[in-house]
Each structure stands twice: as structure tokens, then as C-alpha cells.
Structure 1
Amino acid sequence: MSLLLNARAPQGPRVAAEWRRRLASKAVVREGGKGELAEQSSESSLECGATEKRLSGTGSRPDTSSLNAEIRRVFDEPAYWKRHYVTAKTGVPTGLFGYPEFSSPEGLVGLLGSMSAEEQVAHSATVLKILDQLSDTLCQVLDAAELVRTVHPDERVVDAAVEAMHDLTTYMNQLNTHTGLYERYAMSGMLVWGRTETRTLLGPNSHTRFALQATKRIVDDRKAAEKLTKAEQGVAKIFLADFEKSGIHLSASQRRRFVDLSQRILILGQSFQIGAHPDSTHIVVSPATKLGGLPGQFRSSVVTRSGLFGRSDSAKVPLSIGGAVLKHVEDVEVRRDVYKSLHTSSKQQLDTLEELLSTRMELAKLLGKQSYAHLFLTDKMVRTPGAVMWRIHGELNEREGEELEALADLDVIRRSKQRDLGTASLPALHGWDRDYYTRLAVAEQSERTGGGVSAGYLSEYFSIGTVFEGLSQLFSRLYGIAFVPEPVRLGEVWHEEVRKFLVVDVGEDGNHSAARPRATLYCDLFHRPGKNCGPSHYTVRCSRRVDDD
């Protein structure tokens, strides 16, 4: 297999480049101009990451098998990625994600001023369109800032992202509690709900009587409602729900309190997320020989008095390798200490959680809800906490009997522990036993069946590159989309290990010659110091129609 990959290696960059040329050559036909070649809008070009000039013509069909090999190499060979896909380190930075405003920390903070100024500009479009544009812009910046806050290695950029998020969230909450904006929205004929439903939403003690009266007049005017498409009516209802959920019916002082509480919840939530780590960073093991079973690749992380593993009375074990300790170390006391340390939070973290929960409850009470769960689920599919619990109990009833299978699996692990300890009866399982005895049970089963596939072999086979290659092939068959490696421009990503792909539409019939770009995917999948190790997914920008703005 490796020989085959090496034989195809010279084709790789040319194949990916051919895909990008094919994508760049797609003409965008303006309405009323058949066959006219046009530049894509700046929104579309940025979303797709297409930097080359649009060309006419179709060209030849790219080699799909070579493209799959290219996907593997992009992930599995770091030097190959840097040589063919990372641009020069000199020049004018393009800004994170291609946003020029994200070229510096100051640019992040300065976005609020430009967005506020944009709101003041007179616009000839409907209020609904204006709100949709404003909401889209806010979400773009907030989502991007949240990602930057989480993954960027530069503390100055992280601090700027946090400041931008706080300012923009305050701004958004102020808009959602702005009675003038709400009244303008109502007067523009955007509300199409019936009288009874509107009155119920606003409540008997509404402080926006003018908006209520305007809404009633508009609902009576069937002509105004008929001018709205079903899509516009749906968007209008969503915006109305946002206003109501933000307490537009409250008094001025209560609305200010809503903004303050919402901002406090954001800050506490971020603090809780940042502090979501064990109270300590390491444990001390004495004697160091109790670390028997720890694989060699983890021993360099262990600090002993003499600097040599196993030759000292004590060893300092970082919790960053706690998973390996729980899986491999034979000594039960060491595993127990690591497990408890990994699951022990600091008092400050507990205090933050308590304040977060109490602030959420205060916000819910302010809006007339029984709890924050009731408030959060108001516009969700299940609507109420009771419905959630009903669904959970329903799932448990449907799966009645499956718990016996789960208990049987636990018994396999318990028997592994029994054999290890030499006890007459099945011993109890603790949290620090699970990984260790699961590994032993799998090894024992493999021996009984005459070999089998080891976990190490599977991990080696399922490299990141192999997995992404498989995903691209799977999505191509199921949904008609595929991944195409894309070079990163200077300043576009936050770390040189981040890979960039175009998500292209290859058509339901698999016609790759008609591929069209649909999205850009940034992949930050490799470990580095200071990076959050948990899996996560961020949407930097959603799709939105822009040709009729």
C-alpha cells in the first residue's frame, strides 16, 4: 500500500490544483443574462475559499482515486502538507477565515463600532430583510470569535475575542429588548399571527401597547399578510419569538436587568468552560516502581528525583497522561488516585457553577418561567422539561432487556478482575477499574479466539488521513459531496497544523466534472500544548442568499 501511495505521490498536488481550477471555472449566470460569465459575489468567494481567477471552459475530469490519496497525505504526512499547501510566511495577512477584520486583535474589537454604524444607515429593504442581515452579521462575528477564543494560541487574540464577544452579546441583547425596533417591526407588516396568539405572547401586562395595537391592525389587514411568502412568515415568527423570549413585554428596568443577567450568564459560562479541568495538574507516586505497566512512550512525561524512570523513591505523574495510567498501570492505588484527581474540581469552579445556576434561575423567573430549563426549551422541539423526561422514560421502556446485555458485558470485565486478583467471587467494579480491566478482557478474548485484531493495529490503520478519505468517499455516494484539499493563505488559520478543505457538490450521479463549491472546512485535529483536548465543532458562517440584499 505504501509503495502504491509513493507511486502516486507526484500526481497529488496537480490533482488537487486541477479540482480547484475546475471549481474556479464555474460560471455564475446572472439573472437575465444567459451564459454570461460573472465573478462570484465576495460572500460566495470567501465562503468557498476560491482564490484563483474564474476561467471559462470545462477541462478534464480529475482523477478521484488520486484525490483520495491526496486527502490521506494531507493529514498523514505533515511535511507534505507544509510543502504543498502552506503559503509563504511573508506578505499581507488575509485575516482569520479570510476576514480582513480578523488580521489583528484590534480588528476583532473594532467590529462592534462598524456594525453599530452599519445599523444606522438607511436601507430601502423591508424591516424583515434588515433584521435578517443584522442577525446574520452578528452570528458570523460571534461564532468566529467563540472559535478564536477556544483555539487560538495567542493570548492577545484570545483576550480580544472575549472582549468582542462580550460587547457584541450586550449589543444583541439590547437589540432584542429594543421596543422601538419591535414597534417598527410590527408596523412593517411582519407579524402574521392571529389576535389571540399575539395577545397571549405579549401578556396582559405588556408595556408595548403601541406594538400590540399595531400588530392587531396588521393582522386584520389580510392584504399585508398576503404579501409575505411562507418563508418570510416563518422568519417573522422566529424574530417575534426572539423578542418575546428576551422580555420585550417587560418594563424598562426589567429589560435592563435582562441584559445584565444575560451578560453575566455568558461570562460565567465562559469561566466555567475555561476552568473545566482537574484541581491539580499531577499526582506524586511513591515508590516510582508502582507505575509498572506504563508504556514507554509515556515515561518521558514522568519526573523522578533522579530523572530516570523507576530509579527514585517518588515520581511526579502529570494528569495529562492520566488516561494511559488508568489503562495500563497495574497498581490499583495509583489508578484510584489518578481517577479521583481527574474528577475533582477546584472550589472556585464549584462556586462558579453555583453562581451560574442561580443567575440562570433569576433570569427564568424574570421572564415568568418556572426554571431555566423551561426557558431554554421554549422554542425547542420538546418544549418542556416534562416532555424531555417523558421521552427518556419512553426510550428506557423501549430498550427493556438491553440492560441485561450491558450487565453481561460488565460481568466479562468483572471476571477479568477476578482472575487478576484471584478472588473466589466476582469483585465490585470501580471507576478506576474500567479501562484497565477492559483492556485485559479484550486481550484475553483475543487469545481465546486465536489472535484477532489488536487495538494498536486498528489505531494505526485508521489514521486521520484514512478516516477523512473514507468520509469523503462515503459522503460522495450518499450526498454527492466530496472534500478537496485547499492551500491556506497567510494569516487565514490560527496554527500551521490546521488543514483546509473545500466541500464540493459532485452531483447525485457522481459527475465530478460538474463539481461546485459548497463550503469551506477547517480541521484542527492534532494535539498541541494548551489546546483543549475535547472534541468540538464550530460553524463559522452559515449559508444565506445574498443576491437580493
Structure 2
Amino acid sequence: MSVYSPFLRLLVVRNTVKLRLCRKVTTWSPVGAAFNTQTLLRSDLFRKNVGLFGVPELSCTEGFEVIQERALLETEQLVERACINPPSALTVETFDKLSDSLCRIADLADFIKVAHPDPLYREAAEKTCIKIGTTVEKLNTNVELCKSLKNLLDNEEVMSKLDPETRRVAELFMFDFEISGIHLDEKQRKEAVNLNVQLLDLNNQFLMGCHMPNRIDMRALPPHIHNHFTSEGNYIQIGGLHAEAQDDLVREVAYRIFLYPNGEMMQTLEDLLSCRNRLARLVGYESYAHRALKGTMAKSPDTVMKFLQLLTDKLQDRTKQDFEMMKDMKRKFNPRNADVMPWDHPYLSGVIRAERFNIEPSLYSPYFSLGACMEGLNSLFTQLYGVSLLAEQPKAGEVWSEDVRKLAVVHETEGLLGYIYCDFFYRPEKPHQDCHFTIRGGRCLDDGQYQLPVVVLMLNLPHPTRSAPTLLTPAMMENLFHEMGHAMHSMLGRTRYQHVTGTRCATDFAEVPSILMEYFATDYRVINQFARHYQTGQPLPQSMVARLYESKKVCGAADTQLQIFYAALDQVYHGEPQNRSTTDILIDMQQKYYGLPYVPNTAWQLRFSHLVGYGAKYYSYLMSRAVASMVWRQCFHKDPLNRETGERYRQEMLAHGGGKEPMLMVEGMLQKRPTTQDFVDALVSDLDPDFEAFIMDSEG
């Protein structure tokens, strides 16, 4: 989702699909086969280049300037129209067209600047992002534009005749004007614009620095661990935590060096947090956290901190037991030093899971070929929603890498719903994060048609080989299901306005559909439909699925507590300014909310990249998981493939995007409004052992 505001916010194939329902007749093929081959046949390589995502101008880098200038001209015309028209539903439609005109360029460029393998394309896209971003910041403080919207909101007679979604979208546009300082005098408005522009630069600086490796003279490290890292002349480069390394020393060295404080980055973070706070206070909020949480399920920092503290209190005994288990395990490896340190947590919890449940990933991967997993997703969506995933041949120039697959999402009666571009395979310089990008949002068009949504899913999977398809570990399979949850949120939403389409909703609600998919990914009734050994065709034994499901609970309290620590740190950083360094705050939060000691001369916060995209909202993962858990247990656990439940879930939670207040959607699905205590209880109950699974495993 875009960070701009207000106008840029955040295989069993059914052969009975009626092609006449789609806008054009297209040749489709089964989804599984498209992912189990090395490359798709490209019969059209010598035909006309249609441009990235079918945008003709983007057949070359110069096209970015062309489409951006066209969007800016259209923006001027729409602003003029919005300012002269009398208040009516057309006012909101004009604002949404303005939002769409900018989003269709900015969102596409935002993706290309990080994903395209050609640096010239990345550079051109980056320039477009800056140009559009500057325009947006000016629109945020356009008094005449805001006045036209305020005239609508103040006209009770007109507002009473608008449908709920239109009223909400109008209020969201006004909210975004307000947090951008529209009510300020001219001097203060200019200051707000300058702060927003400054923040864009600081965000980019911080994100770049988060992923930069640190290096150390190789003579400072024992020779026997050199081969674990990348060497460059006389230096060792360390670009990550190496959390899965078996050697204690490798993990410790990576932790201490990768997290070693960098003065320039420390200043960037201080400036970023200070700039956010100044902007929030300038536009009338107590803190940046108060500004960020308005309109979310949580609504306020007080609610978030209450949630985190209640969860900490409820998990206290379990967390202590988890760390004791880790200590016992470490003692086996290192009797002389059994103290559990932060670099031990991921590794030891993984060892305990593997030892207790025998969940070595290599035992599972042969059953999770990428093609089989995609067929499994297709089957699941067909049964729940009447939707099929169908592979479509991209045209020449449409995709940025030859291994990108294009999927059409087709409903059995509604026809073509949208497109998913699957950028699943590893390549050099590609971001290592699994993520979902909205390229184009859905909306109702003037001619009665629907603007089809377009999204990209990005993973980093190994390529298939001549001898074997791409085989996924259980974690990779779960990530695939997670990201596909975001994609289907985008596909199944049918909002009138693109400003609230799909995942353009409150952050603590946006993660619910994706996390819910993780529950499907560990249920035997779902897995049994597709998990087959790629060589023998044998199904994955039910006992192995049970072990996988139960293993996720091992050290689950400690894992959750680590997320609580991150969320609390994020809240405090974005709360009232404190006369302490970011490291001093981290030490305090780690002591209160984690349980493992701070390591001197480290600055984990400088690698906390989520501070940019999820500033003051990192808690969203925990709260969304709580909602997903409640929806799963109450609605899907009894029968995860029930069509009636799937349709109700679509209508109550997926269809509205951000066009309905998030807690109302949750309440509609659960038939009750959950309390903070309900959220806590849901997360804790997820850690309780399933004794039926133990019995099944022993019988297996």
C-alpha cells in the first residue's frame, strides 16, 4: 500500500467458467502447471512490446515521464471540476477519480523502483514517485479543494441521501486533509508540506541503511568461522543475523556486528521520529501515534498499550517456561555457558520444535511443490468463493522478468475479477521480503463497468530445475498462503471507490485476511487436497500435518513476547518525545516486555525497517492475528471448505475494503464486538496444546 495521503492511501481448474462473462476471450491454462516449469513458452517474443502491465508507454524508461505528465494534467482538470461543482455524490466521485489518477501511476512506480532488474527502470520509477509525491503534498493543503469537500460534509440534506460507503469515503478524504494541516494558516501549511517532503527522504534513507551490511577486519574473527560470511579483501561482510546457524559463535558474531551502532543511521532515526512528531503536533495531535491510530480498530495508543500489557501479563508464566526450555537445550550444546541470549532465541526454539516433533523441512518439501500448492489454493478458493486461478500468457514486455507468472482470477458467475502477477523466484538485487503490491485498485467506472484490480505478489523461492519442481518448506508454503490472502482481499473486494479498495483499509484490519489464510495452511482437511509427493504421488500423512501444527506452539509464548516488545518499542518511539536516546528506550522496553538481556554496543532499532511502513502500527500483526483466530475458531474450524461460510466472510469482511469501519466488519462476522480481553484470550488460546493431535500422532 502506498504511504502517500490523502489521495494515495493506504489445480483443479473449473472448465465450466463462462468466457462470455469476461471482457475478452483469453487462452487460460491450469495454474499448477504454470509454476512447475522452468519458463513459460513465449510465442510472442517478437511481437509488439505492450509495456509493463500492458501500459504501452512503459515499453521504455522515457514512458514514465509521459504517463506522469498525463496524470498531472488530468489531476489539474479534476481539481478544477471538484472546486466548481455543487456538493453532491459527484464530489466524492471526482475526488476518487483524482485519487485513482495519481495512484495508478504512483503505485506502479513504487513497485518498479524496488523490483525491476534494470537499474534504468528503477531510476525512472523513483523520479516518478518523487514527482507524484510532491504533487500529492501540494494537494493535501489545497484550501479550495478542501473547501469543496467541506461544503458537501456540512450539507446535511445532501449527506443524508448518500449511501454509507460514499459518506465514509468523503469523511476519509476530509480526515486526510486534516492530518495534513489544511486547517492551519498559510505559513504552517507550508511547514507541513516541507515536513512531509522531508519525511519521504528520511524514510528512504532509513530503509536503505536498514539493509546495508556491516564489515569487520577478518583478523578480528576466528578463522574457522570466516566461511560463514562474505569476504571482501581483508574484510568480512555481515549482512544479516545468521539466526539459523548451528555455531553459537557465528550467531553471536553476526548479532554483535550486524547490529553495531552506526552514528549516521542513529541520527537518521532520531530525525525521522522528531520529524513525525513535529508534523503530528503541528496538525493538532498529541503524538504521531495518536495521528496514526485514528481510524484503526485500536483507535488510540492507550488501547494498544493496554492490549500489549494484558497480553504480557497473561503470557508471563508460559514465556518463562519457554526460556527455561531454551536454557536446558543450550546447556546440552554448551554446558559451560547456558545463558540464553537474544541471538539464541530463533535457533533454539527451532531446535526444540524439530526435536520434539521431528519437523525437519526436508521431510515436508517433497509434498509441497509450488505447482501443487497453487492448485491447492485454487481448489480452496473455488470451494469457498466460486473463484478459479487461471494462468494467462503475458504479452511481450508486460512483465519485468521472464519467470513472472500472470494469473486471471475468474468467478463462476461474475466473470473476470482481476489479475495477480506472481513474482515468486529469487533473482539478484530483488528485495528479500515477501510482500503484496497494489498496482491498480478496483472501482466503478462511469460506463457501468468495473476497473479490474491488479496486484503483484513477491516471494523469493528457488527456481525449478530439470530434475525437480520448486519445493517449498512449510514456512514458505505458509508465506505463500499469507500473501495470497492479501491478493484475494484485493480481488474479492468490490468497492465503489478505489480509495478504499481491497487492502486500502486500516492496517490492523488489513492483515486479518492474510493471517486467516495461515490457519487454512495448517489444517489437514485443506492440505490433504493438494500435498502430494512430487515423485510418488503419495499424500502427506495426517500425523505429519498434526506435528507441524502443534510444533508452531512450541516456544510460542516467547515468540509472541518478542513481537510484543517490538510493538511496544514502536509505540514509545512514536509517543511523547523523551529525553532519552533510541537505544536507552530500547533497553527499557526490552527489560519490560521481552525477558532476554540487552547486548551492549548493539542497536537493533537501526534494523527495524517496519518503523517506516508500520510506524506506530506494528501492533497490527498481533491484533490482526487475534481477530483471525476468532474468525477461524468460530466460523471455519468446524468446516474450512464450507461455501456458505466463505460467501458470508466475503460479504462481511472482504467485500468492503476500507469502505466500512473495521470493527463493524469484525462485529458482523463474529456477531459480537470483541473486547481487548477477547483479543488477548484468542492469542493465548492459540498456544494451548491440541491433545487430539497428540493422540493422532502417537497412533500414526
Q: How does the TM-score come out when normalised to structure 1?
A: 0.69
**Match among 32, 35, 40 for residue 82 of structure 1:** 40
> Which position in structure 1 is the counterpart of 2:307?
391
User: How many residues end up aligned between the 2 structures?
Assistant: 429
For 1:468, the equivalent position in structure 2 comes to 374
Once the two structures are TM-superposed, the CA of residue 268 in structure 1 deviates from its matched residue by: 1.4
Out of 101, 105, 108, the position equivalent to 2:57 is 101
How many Å separate the matches in 2 of 1:179 and 1:385? 30
SS at match of 1:250: coil
Q: CA deviation at 1:429?
A: 0.8
Q: Which residue of 1 aligns with 2:149?
A: 185
1:369 aligns with 2:364: no
**Partner letter of residue 379 of structure 2?**
Q
Q: Match for residue 524 of structure 1?
A: 423
Q: Which residue of 2 aligns with 1:477?
A: 383
Partners in 1 of 2:46 and 2:65 — Cα distance?
Answer: 25
**Counterpart Cα distance in 1 of 2:167 and 2:240:** 54
How far apart are residue 520 of structure 1 and its match? Answer: 0.8
C-alpha deviations, 1:290-347, integer Å up to 9, x for none? 47xx8xxxx8x86699xxxxxxxxx976546863xx43443x3333112223334633
1:143 and 1:539 in contact (8 A); partners too: yes
1:147-167 C-alpha deviation (Å, 9 max, x unpaired):
111211222211222211121
Deviation at 1:444, TM superposition (A): 4.3
Structure 2 counterparts to residues 160-171 of structure 1, below 5 A: 160-171=124-135
Query: How far apart, in 2, do the equivalents of 1:250 and 1:349 lie?
Result: 32
Contact 1:497/1:526 (CA < 8 Å) preserved in 2? Answer: yes
CA separation of 1:320 and 1:89: change in aligned 2, threshold 3 A: farther
Amino acid at match of 1:263: V
Match of 2:204 in 1: 270
Indicate the residue corresponding to 1:46 in structure 2: none
Alignment partner, residue 604 of structure 2: none
Q: Which residue of 2 aligns with 1:210?
A: none
Select which of 312, 320, 324 maps to 1:407: 320
Shift in alpha-carbon separation, 1:316–1:173, aligned structure 2, 3 A: closer
Q: Residues 283 and 526 from structure 1, CA distance in 2 versus in 1: closer, same or farther, beyond 3 angstroms?
A: farther
Say if 1:186 and 1:418 are closer, same or farther in 2 by CA, change over 3 A: closer
> 1:327 aligns to what SS in structure 2?
coil
Computing the radius of gyration over CA atoms, which structure comes out larger, 1 or 2?
1
| Conserved? CA contact 1:278–1:345, under 8 Å | no
Paired residues of 1:87 and 1:488 also in contact (CA < 8 A)? no
Aligned partner of 2:402 among 496, 499, 506: 496
Deviations, residues 154-200 of structure 1 (Å, cap 9, x unaligned):
2221122221112112212212211122233345xx21xxxxxxxxx
- Whether the 8 Å contact between 1:475 and 1:481 is mirrored in structure 2 is yes
Is 2:165 the counterpart of 1:249?
A: no
State the AA in 2 paired with 1:427: A
1:131 equivalent in alignment to 2:126: no
Partner of 1:6: none
Q: Which residue of 1 aligns with 2:244?
A: 327
Kindly state the Cα deviation for residue 548 of structure 1 after the two structures are TM-superposed.
Answer: 4.7
Counterpart of 2:481? none
Report matched runs for 1:209-288 at 5 Å: 215=154, 218-219=155-156, 222=157, 224-280=158-214, 284=218, 288=223
Query: For the residues of structure 1 that align with 2:319 and 2:306, how far apart are their CA atoms?
Result: 23
Closer, same or farther: CA 347–466 of 1 in aligned 2, 3 Å: farther
CA distance in 2, matches of 1:527, 1:472: 23
Look up the SS of the partner of 2:417 in the other structure.
strand
**Structure 1 unpaired stretches of 5+:** 1-11, 28-39, 41-49, 54-61, 192-214, 306-314, 447-451, 507-513
Question: RMSD value over aligned CA atoms?
Answer: 3.3
The equivalent of 2:493 in structure 1 is none
CA distance in 2, matches of 1:403, 1:338: 29
1:27-50 Cα shifts (integer Å, max 9, x gaps)? 6xxxxxxxxxxxx4xxxxxxxxx5
Q: Quote the sequence identity (%).
A: 28
The structure-2 alpha-carbon separation of the partners of 1:406 and 1:108, relative to structure 1 and needing over 3 Å to count, comes to same
Return the alpha-carbon distance in structure 2 between the equivalents of residues 353 and 531 of structure 1. 25
Partner Cα distance (2:289, 2:74) in 1: 35
Q: Secondary structure of 1:517's match?
A: strand
Counterpart contact for 1:258–1:363, Cα < 8 Å: yes
Distance verdict in 2 for CA 1:413–1:459, change over 3 Å: farther
Q: In 1, distance between residues paired with 2:436 and 2:272?
A: 24
Preserved contact between residue 275 and residue 349 of structure 1 (Cα < 8 Å): yes
Letter in 1 for 2:322: D
Distance in 2 between the 1:321 and 1:257 partners?
38
TM-score by length of 2: 0.55
- The one-letter code of the counterpart of 2:317 is L
Partner of 2:339: 428
- Map of 2:569 onto structure 1: none
Aligned to 2:525: none
344 and 333 in structure 1: CA distance in 2 versus 1, 3 angstrom threshold: same
Measured after TM superposition, the shift of residue 133 of structure 1 is 0.7
8 Å contact from structure 1 (residues 485, 501) kept in 2: yes
Q: 3-state SS of the aligned residue for 1:524?
A: strand
Matches within 5 A, 1:424-463: 427-438=338-349, 440-442=351-353, 444-445=355-356, 452-463=358-369
Residue 406 of structure 2 aligns to a residue whose secondary structure is strand
Amino acid at match of 2:175: A
Aligned-partner residue type, residue 327 of structure 2: R
Write the deviation string for residues 206-236 of structure 1: whole angstroms up to 9, x where unpaired: xxxxxxxxx4xx44xx3x4454333332222
CA distance in 2, matches of 1:261, 1:95: 35
- Asked if the contact 2:239–2:258 (Cα under 8 Å) also holds between the matched residues in 1, the reply is no
Answer yes or no: is 1:417 the counterpart of 2:330.
yes
Of residues 431, 437, 442 in structure 2, which corresponds to 1:543?
442
Flag the 1:227–1:441 CA change in 2: closer, same or farther, 3 A.
Answer: closer
Q: Is the 8 A contact 1:413 1:434 kept in 2?
A: yes
Structure 2 letter corresponding to 1:496: E
Q: 1:175 aligns with which of 139, 142, 155?
A: 139
**Is 1:26 equivalent to 2:21 in the alignment?**
yes
Q: Distance in 1 between matches of 2:184 and 2:40?
A: 56
Kept in 1: contact 2:109–2:125 (CA 8 A): yes
Alpha-carbon contact 1:278-1:341 (below 8 Å) kept = no
